[in-house]
Amino acid sequence: MITYRLGNDLDLDAAIELYRASTLGERRPVADRARMAAMLAHANLVVRAWDGALLVGLARSLSDFSYCTYRADLAVRASHQRRGIGRELIRRSREAGGAAQIILLAAPAAEGYYPRLGFRRHPQARVLGPEEPLRGAAHGSRFGT
């Protein structure tokens, strides 16, 4: 039986092992323990799924609990996928997030998953990595964010 808990009080090793077992570890800095610890510590909306003592799922988000919740990670252990755990993690995150809309960037392998849950494509999404320079005018823009 899968149980769900709210909160980011996780054992770092268990979380890293889950990321690796879910394949999300291929796109996360799992070898950088300090960065992974910071990612978990600073997430203010985390829902975890447990199969007994085994961490089998995690939804890590940043939310203002009013307007938007940014879904940073949805990880479900490969051995536990296709059991509704990811959907339930999203449902519980949404419930805890109040009236906030969920915004996410889908991993390439999961791009087809989210439309099946009702997520719609948003063509205005943009990404600027930490190693990429901020370009453009030094003064304000006429466009809002």
**Tens digit of each residue's pLDDT (9 = 90 or more) over 25-58:** 889 999 999 999 999 999 999 999 999 999 999 9
Please check whether residue 86 lies inside any domain of the structure: yes
Please check whether residue 47 lies inside any domain of the structure: yes
HSE, side-chain direction, 13 A CA sphere, residue 45: 25
The closest alpha carbon to 103, from 89, 119, 88, 117, belongs to 119
Taking the model in full, what pTM does it have? 0.87
Residue pLDDT, tens place only, 125-141: 888 888 899 998 666 55
Please check whether residue 62 lies inside any domain of the structure: yes
CATH number at residue 7: 3.40.630.30
Please check whether residue 126 lies inside any domain of the structure: no
Q: ∠30-31-37 over CA atoms, to 5°?
A: 60
The domain total for the chain is 1
Q: ∠24-25-26 over CA atoms, to 5°?
A: 85
Which residue range(s) make up the domain with 58?
A: 2-116
Please check whether residue 127 lies inside any domain of the structure: no
Please check whether residue 9 lies inside any domain of the structure: yes
